[in-house]
Structure 1
């Protein structure tokens, strides 16, 4: 199982649904749900899009860094 502890928090902070984030990534709500729950590994290109969108680092998204930009 993969671990993406901050995806849900960042999404909710922006008042976005899983479907909206899925659309941002060019994928489905169901696929994004799998990323958020750690069922499936999120591709690097999706991490980059999310980091840019949320104005944080990829390391922050992955839980490797406690600071954001």
Structure 2
């Protein structure tokens, strides 16, 4: 599935797909396929992205507009 917030947060931080791929330890082609929805995101990959940008996984998955993690 394609999630617009993942691409947006990457672009908002002036990062290339190649840079993100390196952070996630995957090829640029694999990252591109994640971003375009050709392959499904794994939970561990989503967590790495959320931790890197200090946002919630729910935000990455377009489940909320609130970027910050709620610590209850």
Match of 1:31 in 2: 30
Match of 1:12 in 2: 11
What is the aligned residue count? 68
SS at match of 2:4: coil
What is the aligned-residue RMSD (CA, Å)? 0.7
Gaps of 5+ in 2: none
* Superposition misfits of 4+ residues, deviation over 2 angstroms: none
Whole-Å separation in 1 of the counterparts to 2:37 and 2:4: 9
Stretch moving more, 3-12 or 44-53: 3-12
8 A Cα contact 1:6 1:63, kept in partner: yes
SS at match of 1:3: coil
TM-score of the pair, normalised by structure 2 = 0.89
8 A Cα contact 1:51 1:57, kept in partner: yes
List aligned pairs for 1:29-68, cutoff 5 A: 29-68=28-67
TM-score of the pair, normalised by structure 1 = 0.93
